[in-house]
Amino acid sequence: MAKMIKAVARPPYAPPADVVNVDDTTSTLRYEDVYYEHSVGAVQKVHRQGSQTFLVNGAGEVRLRLEVWSEEVIRFFYAFGKDADDFSYARDPEARMQGTQVEFAERQDTFIIRTAKLELQLRQADGAVTILDRSAGHVLHQYAAPFYTRFTLMRGLDQMRLQFTTDREEGFFGLGDKAWDTDLNGRYLDNWCADSFAYGRERDNLYRAVPFFYGLRDGVAYGIFVDNTYRSHFDFNSHRDGLATVWTDGGEFDYYFINGPELDAVARRYTQLTGLPELPPLWSLGYHQCRWSYYPEARVKEVAATFREKQIPCDAIYLDIDYMDGYRCFTWNKDYFPDPKRMIAELRDDGFHTVVMIDPGIRVDDDYAVYQDGEQRDVFCRRSTGEQMTGPVWPSECVWPDYTDPEVREWWGRLYQELYVEQGVSGFWNDMNEPALFKVNALTFPLDVRHDFDGHRGDHKKAHNVYGMQMTRATYDGLKALQPAKRPFLLGRANFSGGQRYASLWTGDNVASWEHLALANRQSLRLSISGYSFVGSDIGGFVDDPTPELLTRWLQLAVFHPLMRIHSMGNNTDGAAEAQADKVKKAEREDRQDQEPWAHGGDHTRRNRLAIEMRYKLLPYLYTAFRHHIQTGTPVLRNLFFYDQTDPQCRKYGDQFLAGDDLMVCPVIEAGVKTMNIYLPKGDWYDFWTGKHYSGQQRLRARIKADRLPIFVRAGAILPTVNKVQYTRQLAEAETLHLSLFLADSGSSALYWDAGEGYGYRVQQYTLRRYGMQRDGRQITLTQEVEGQYNASFRYANIRLVGLTHPPGRVTVDGQLLPHALKFDQRTASVVVPFDFRTVVIE
């Protein structure tokens, strides 16, 4: 039986109080004050359905289905009422339960489900769950209270709650883009996609809702993914009472327990559930330049010419909302851009790709073709009363497509035809898709707006967190249909778990401050370990002007973030700026400086150029790391404690991170720093710049230079790089690949390379080169194994040995003595050999 409870002011996860008998006719409670609590209740029977699914029959009105997805992953599907909706946008359509042997036993007071790795104990008295690691006997996940559901007379189902035990020492990580410290223990957080202009460190709801987190306790890791699109809440021991509480504001509580015990294993298993992106076009990993806004055409051409004149590499220029005709998506302002096709072609000839913004808000205008067509097809969102949802964004009156309707998604995808196919735009930027509104306190739709939800109809309370995700899905699918042989590039803002399949992300409208530089790094790392490896921030800050030092330090950091893009509000003062001023008080920008890499001149320009050049030199390494992510699910960026999760020092140095497997980056996040503390985890490391060798598990006090960050390379790494270029297309003519061997007794690395565009790599048109290194006394052997049929432009490999203690002697390549002497300089030596070598021996 449900209990009727008199509502009192308390946290929604607090113990119930003030029980009222539903038959008490003397009660003066109003209907809006009454809610009902439900649970699984005493477990009467567990029915095994097939080999890996179990239906729990309890005395309460909450139903539970348990699914063993693999030896390491168990799904819990809690539902209230008769019409449970087992539908997911987050789960990859290709994700399947893996066949695994499952044991089931019934004891006097407990039901037991076992895999080779885990034991799940279901308590008969109340349905509470405990999960143990079978090999070590550790408790990994233990309910602190039975699963709880609340139903109110006025709001219906409004809470589904899980509460489990924790302690002060457990680390909680992930949860998307939260602007907070790396470890979330002690915090309470919400997930509700929100337009968060100039957000601060304490801002909770940002642009993404990613209900996935890691727990790390006593060196053992697990993950929990809550596949529920409603507003979700996470209390990680904020009361210091040893409790972690997760609840949602409706729907089914569908969550996956993901065992590690390694953090990397949790990351891989999470992406097996929610999917991975495609390999991006190589140009999208180059440097991008953006501002609000570049116009007219002459200004765009001036910016492009200045990059080439100053020899600062760049691959993409973005056009913000002012390229449109009166903020009408899929149109051009012909006064600013009279012939966009010609302009785009001329930019492409000079090595620049064009990326343009598309928003979801469609201007209400009977003379606007997109609005007319959408009206005729009834694609726009409607309120519960039937009328269209209208509101202000950039235009004073907009309507919004319902991207949760598959027919609307297909319609939306076709709208890119002219821009993408006929005019040659290379990539797109879906903005404002939380969805954002101006001039209203909530900044988004009212909750009564209705959505199709792919036939599982519901209101905006259910669809809000996936609205942006489904917009990027519609765009991505449309681009794929329009040009099937071309890899899409799409940058999105709002998103949900699983949205990494469709779009890259940036961290939103940040601020030009040192605090935001630190946040940009933490947010990018958090998003990366939350499934979104293709991530970056607005370099230098979107709001306000960065100092010369801040801009340089941000660029130096962004070398290692997969998306490398400067974006700023600029100094434009037209009508768009006035509209934004309504949204953000005192957002005047008349005196804003531009934010190109040469903005501060002199040595600042030189340092910024060096940073961007370094990005292009590292492209073979970064491209390989991205391909490894797509193949395995290992994040491109990882916190230091992913490298050694048993070392508490790795958790203390939360701003250091791994880029790929071999580089450790130490950001400079304070002004005027001359020295800083750095921690080297276990193993041996080399200073990237000097080649000096260090033993791990020690702190260093490093001297800081203005033109570089402290970077360290894992001993045993073989780092592939190229000579600097001005844009990625020039790499098709590169003849020399540099291989830097950071010497150890043994080591291995890889190079992945392909055409950088198209899908030839799916039919063996790639080259994957696995390098192995062995050191035996004074002899160093480098081997290469080749997979794939792509004929790269490289003809030579410049092998550089780092960490030598003696001048090397002779060199043999595939058994043939190389007549040229090695070049030796202090700790390094180099020699040029054929790119397709099999074995190089240096003595």
> Which sequence positions are flagged as catalytic?
431, 434, 509
Question: Side chain identity at 192, as an amino acid letter?
Answer: W
> Residue 541: helix, strand or coil by DSSP?
coil
What is the largest distance, in Å, between two alpha-carbon atoms of the chain?
103
Provide CB contacts within 8 A for 537, sequence distance 6+.
506, 507, 510, 520, 523, 524, 554, 558, 561
Phi, psi (rounded to 5 degrees) for 284: -70, -15
Look-up: residue for tokens 């997911």?
88
Q: How many CB atoms lie within 10 A of CB 766?
A: 19
DSSP labels for 233-297? Answer: EEEESTTSSSEEEEEESSS-EEEEEEE-SSHHHHHHHHHHHH--PPPPPGGGGSEEE--TT--SH
Rounded CA separation 341/419 (Å): 9
- DSSP calls for 483-509: -TTS---EEESSEETTGGGT-EEE--S
Euclidean distance between CA atoms 589 and 562, whole angstroms: 29
Return d(Cα 546, Cα 390) in angstroms, integer.
Answer: 37
DSSP letters, 44-109, are EEEEEETTTEEEEEESSSEEEEEEE-SSSEEEEEEEESS------SSS-TT--PPP---EEEE-SS
Closest residue by Cα to residue 218 from 138, 162, 276, 288? 138
Cis peptide before 15 (omega within 30 of 0): no
In the three-class reduction of DSSP (H, G, I as helix; E, B as strand; rest coil), residue 175 is classed as coil
Sign of the CA dihedral running 130, 135, 137, 141: negative
Question: How many beta carbons lie within 10 A of that of residue 758, not counting itself?
Answer: 14
Say which residues have a Cβ less than 8 Å from residue 740's Cβ, sequence separation at least 6: 713, 717, 718, 719, 721, 800, 802
The whole-angstrom separation of Cα 490 and Cα 505 is: 9
If 0-12 CB within 10 Å is exposed, 13-18 middle and 19+ buried, where does residue 585 land? exposed
Is there a contact between 487 and 479 (Cβ–Cβ < 8 Å)? no
Query: Token pair of 755, please?
Result: 């055409």
Q: How far out from the chain centre does Cα 772 lie? A: 31
3-state helix, strand, coil in the chain (%, to 5): 20, 30, 45
**What's the CA gap between 619 and 644, in Å, rounded?**
26
Residue 218: count of CB within 10 angstroms of its CB: 12
Give the CA distances from residue 63 to residues 35, 156, 159, in Å, rounded to whole numbers and listed in that order. Answer: 19, 17, 15
Partners of residue 399 on adjacent β-strands: 362
Taking a C-beta distance cutoff of 8 angstroms, is the pair 192, 436 a contact?
no
Nearest CA among 668, 518, 548 for reference residue 608: 548
SS3 444: coil
Place of tokens 């101006």: 438
261: CB partners within 8 A, 6+ apart = 133, 219, 220, 221, 222
HEC string for 340-408: HHHHHHHHHHCCCEEEEEECCCEECCCCCHHHHHHHHHCCECECCCCCECCECCCCCCEECECCCCHHH
Q: Which of 374, 372, 480, 485 is nearest to 428 (CA)?
A: 480
